[in-house]
């Protein structure tokens, strides 16, 4: 099976070939093109160039139904049962034979499924198992599993891996996407590694191969990152600073399980995580838009409980989302957008003091060097300038803590630099910044420390000196910090698998 894809260069030149009876891992850093490839293989989006061959025969895959006919069936990260139909109707919808489905469900460790229950009423973990059983029941040639075990409790996950393994023995193929090396080494035969939309290597899974995979995922970046290391002098200057926010054993939903860290005054702390490791929930909890299910958040030594984003704003915590359209009123002017939080949240419907507002806004614009030629409508600004506006509004209200969630996504390099500079300036003024980024090299460009989250937990906190891309990548995949000596890690991690909660 081979495929090329042009357009916005999400995929440039990617090929993936899977042998019969093989479990094949598909790997790559965030944004390498994994999800695009999966979408193409399952017919969710169309490719511009290239072909899909199943057992040597070319197939046109233009919809999920086409993919199914070609023998490609996938299980997605989110459950894809129709929530308002019962299980039986869901099977009828996809024309899945019921008896094999029932057998697979039992096999997968769910003995007491009531087929007349609405999918909505089935627990999330079980829904994923049902998704898998539904896929297995139609006996696909190629089964595509996207982060299948992510939301599963350990006993179910084990069963699932077991079933997948056996599936491959019947001569069918499995494409397995996972961030967990432990699972990959236990299950997969080979791995294809993607980087920047290209296939950079196909490796056999054998002990010690993780290092090779990490190298492939990063490519030449390893050397480059070392060169870009920032001087540590600036960072260490804040050693004596007070603690602004203390997070202890924070839990949010099922994704964020146990997170503790401190955020100091005058510090930029980076957060590093693969997609979906609980970072969204962490930021939402700190910004007051989600209620934590356990643990505590302290601000300036006092425990707080946010029930609404306004509470967080009152505590001096400002949230800058990655998706700028979430934060900005696109048709309004720059001035109005900057003035929005303090006229809305702090004045409580009272009259807006025009003169004062104008002065504050003007100083914020100047400090940020926002290009104001197009200030009548925010939507006409460039992405970088839009992002500056979202940050500026919080400077205007003098927020002491700024939560930046991937603020540089899709922004040109020059503006990125300005945003790093801005974050450093804010820190120098004693403000504290929590900065999640999906681009690992930004940690060393802007941060003092890196907090690495994996599987909903803080797995490491790295000082900036050693937080280069390879180290962060390793940590983000849950590998131990000094894993240079490849031999033995697998044995070590494999043995700890049973102890996983």
Question: Which residue, 119 or 476, is less far from another protein as judged by CB?
Answer: 119
Of the candidate residues 16, 44, 125, 374, the single one contacting another protein (CB under 8 A):
44
Q: Does 89 bind another protein (CB under 8 A)?
A: yes
What is the spatial order of strands in the sheet that 190-195 belongs to?
A: 2-4, 13-15, 198-204, 190-195, 23-28, 173-177, 142-146, 72-75
Question: Which residue, 90 or 473, is less far from another protein as judged by CB?
Answer: 90
> What minimum distance in Å lies between the beta carbon of 61 and another protein?
12
Residue 16: CB atoms within 10 A of its CB come to 17
Of the candidate residues 46, 49, 55, 92, the single one contacting another protein (CB under 8 A):
92
> What minimum distance in Å lies between the beta carbon of 148 and another protein?
15
Number of residues that bind another protein (CB under 8 A): 23
Which residues, numbered 228-247, are part of the site for another protein (CB under 8 A)?
Answer: none
Question: Which residue, 120 or 166, is less far from another protein as judged by CB?
Answer: 120
Token pair of 41 as six digits: 């293989």
C-alpha torsion 230→236→238→240, nearest 10: 170
Which residues, numbered 445-474, are part of the site for another protein (CB under 8 A)?
Answer: none
Question: Which residue, 84 or 398, is less far from another protein as judged by CB?
Answer: 84
Of the candidate residues 3, 40, 87, 90, the single one contacting another protein (CB under 8 A):
90
Question: Which residue, 331 or 356, is less far from another protein as judged by CB?
Answer: 331
Q: In angstroms, what is the C-alpha Rg of the chain?
A: 25
Q: Residues 68, 139: contact at Cβ < 8 Å?
A: no
> What minimum distance in Å lies between the beta carbon of 259 and another protein?
29
- Among 143, 179, 206, which residue's Cα sits nearest to residue 27? 179
Instruction: Say how far apart CA 149 and CA 499 lie, in whole Å.
Output: 16
Binding mask 98-117 for another protein (x = CB under 8 A): ------------------x-
> What minimum distance in Å lies between the beta carbon of 217 and another protein?
28
Residue 454's H or E segment, with its range, is strand 449-454
> What minimum distance in Å lies between the beta carbon of 84 and another protein?
4
> What minimum distance in Å lies between the beta carbon of 118 and another protein?
9
Question: Which residue, 94 or 243, is less far from another protein as judged by CB?
Answer: 94
Q: Does 93 bind another protein (CB under 8 A)?
A: yes
> What minimum distance in Å lies between the beta carbon of 297 and another protein?
27
Question: Which residue, 48 or 117, is less far from another protein as judged by CB?
Answer: 117
Q: Residues 195, 217: contact at Cβ < 8 Å?
A: yes
- Among 406, 467, 426, 433, which residue's Cα sits nearest to residue 263? 433
Q: Does 145 bind another protein (CB under 8 A)?
A: no
Residue 432's H or E segment, with its range, is strand 432-436
> What minimum distance in Å lies between the beta carbon of 277 and another protein?
22
Question: Which residue, 81 or 286, is less far from another protein as judged by CB?
Answer: 81
Instruction: Say how far apart CA 276 and CA 386 lie, in whole Å.
Output: 26
Residue 248 CA to its chain's centroid (Å): 22
Which residues, numbered 49-88, are part of the site for another protein (CB under 8 A)?
Answer: 63-65, 68, 74, 76, 78-85
Instruction: Say how far apart CA 4 and CA 15 lie, in whole Å.
Output: 7
Q: Which phi-psi region, left, alpha or beta, contains residue 234 (left: φ > 0; alpha: ψ -120 to 50)?
A: alpha
Of the candidate residues 14, 36, 42, 375, the single one contacting another protein (CB under 8 A):
42
Instruction: Say how far apart CA 416 and CA 384 lie, in whole Å.
Output: 7
> What minimum distance in Å lies between the beta carbon of 66 and another protein?
9
Instruction: Say how far apart CA 1 and CA 57 lie, in whole Å.
Output: 9
> What minimum distance in Å lies between the beta carbon of 11 and another protein?
20
Instruction: Say how far apart CA 470 and CA 214 lie, in whole Å.
Output: 7
Helices 209-218 and 469-476, interaxial angle, to 10°? 120
> What minimum distance in Å lies between the beta carbon of 85 and another protein?
6
Question: Which residue, 134 or 400, is less far from another protein as judged by CB?
Answer: 134
Instruction: Say how far apart CA 218 and CA 427 lie, in whole Å.
Output: 30
Question: Which residue, 84 or 326, is less far from another protein as judged by CB?
Answer: 84
Question: Which residue, 4 or 94, is less far from another protein as judged by CB?
Answer: 94
Instruction: Say how far apart CA 329 and CA 388 lie, in whole Å.
Output: 14
Could you give the 3-state DSSP secondary structure of residue 457?
strand
- Report CA torsion sign: 120, 121, 125, 128: negative
Residues forming the site for another protein (CB under 8 A)? 42, 44, 63-65, 68, 74, 76, 78-85, 89-90, 92-95, 116
């Amino acid at each position: 099976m081979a495929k090329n894809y042009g357009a916005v260069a999400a995929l440039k030149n990617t090929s993936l070939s899977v042998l019969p009876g093989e479990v094949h891992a598909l790997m790559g850093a965030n944004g390498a093109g994994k999800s695009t490839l999966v979408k193409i293989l399952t017919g969710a989006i169309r490719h511009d160039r290239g072909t899909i061959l199943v057992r040597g025969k070319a197939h046109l895959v233009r919809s999920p139904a086409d993919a199914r006919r070609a023998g490609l069936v996938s299980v997605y990260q989110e459950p894809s049962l129709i929530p308002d139909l019962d299980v039986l109707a869901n099977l009828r919808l996809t024309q899945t034979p019921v008896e094999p489905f029932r057998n697979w469900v039992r096999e997968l460790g769910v003995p007491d499924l009531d087929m007349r229950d609405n999918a909505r009423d089935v627990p999330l973990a079980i829904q994923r198992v049902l998704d898998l059983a539904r896929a297995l029941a139609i006996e696909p040639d190629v089964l595509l599993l996207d982060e299948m075990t992510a939301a599963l409790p350990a006993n179910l996950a084990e069963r699932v891996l077991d079933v997948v393994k056996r599936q491959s023995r019947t001569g069918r193929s499995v494409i397995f996407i996972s961030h967990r090396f432990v699972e990959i080494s236990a299950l997969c035969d080979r791995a294809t590694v993607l980087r920047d939309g290209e296939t950079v290597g196909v490796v056999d899974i054998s002990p010690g191969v993780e290092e090779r995979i990490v190298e492939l995922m990063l490519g030449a970046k390893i050397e480059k990152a070392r060169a870009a290391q920032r001087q540590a002098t600036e960072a260490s200057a804040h050693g004596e600073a007070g603690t602004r926010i203390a997070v202890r054993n924070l839990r949010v939903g099922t994704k964020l399980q146990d997170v503790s860290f401190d955020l100091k005054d005058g510090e930029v702390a980076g957060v590093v995580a693969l997609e979906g490791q609980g970072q969204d929930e962490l930021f939402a909890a700190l910004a007051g838009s989600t209620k934590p299910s356990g643990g505590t958040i302290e601000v300036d030594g006092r425990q707080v409980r946010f029930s609404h984003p306004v509470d967080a704003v009152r505590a001096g915590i400002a949230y800058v989302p990655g998706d700028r359209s979430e934060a900005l009123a696109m048709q309004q002017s720059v001035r109005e957008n900057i003035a929005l939080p303090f006229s809305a949240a702090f004045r409580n419907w009272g009259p807006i003091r025009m003169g004062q507002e104008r002065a504050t806004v003007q100083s914020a614009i100047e400090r940020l060097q926002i290009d104001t030629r197009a200030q009548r409508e925010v939507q006409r600004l460039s992405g970088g300038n839009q992002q500056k506006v979202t940050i500026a509004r919080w400077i205007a209200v003098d927020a002491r803590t700024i939560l930046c969630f991937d603020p540089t996504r899709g922004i040109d390099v020059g503006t990125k630099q300005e945003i790093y500079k801005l974050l450093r300036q804010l820190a120098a003024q004693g403000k504290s910044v929590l900065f999640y980024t999906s681009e690992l090299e930004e940690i060393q460009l802007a941060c003092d420390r890196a907090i690495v989250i994996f599987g909903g937990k803080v797995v490491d906190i790295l000082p900036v000196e050693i937080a280069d891309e390879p180290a962060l990548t390793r940590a983000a995949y849950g590998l131990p910090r000094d894993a240079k000596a490849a031999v033995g890690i697998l044995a070590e991690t494999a043995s700890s698998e049973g102890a996983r909660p």
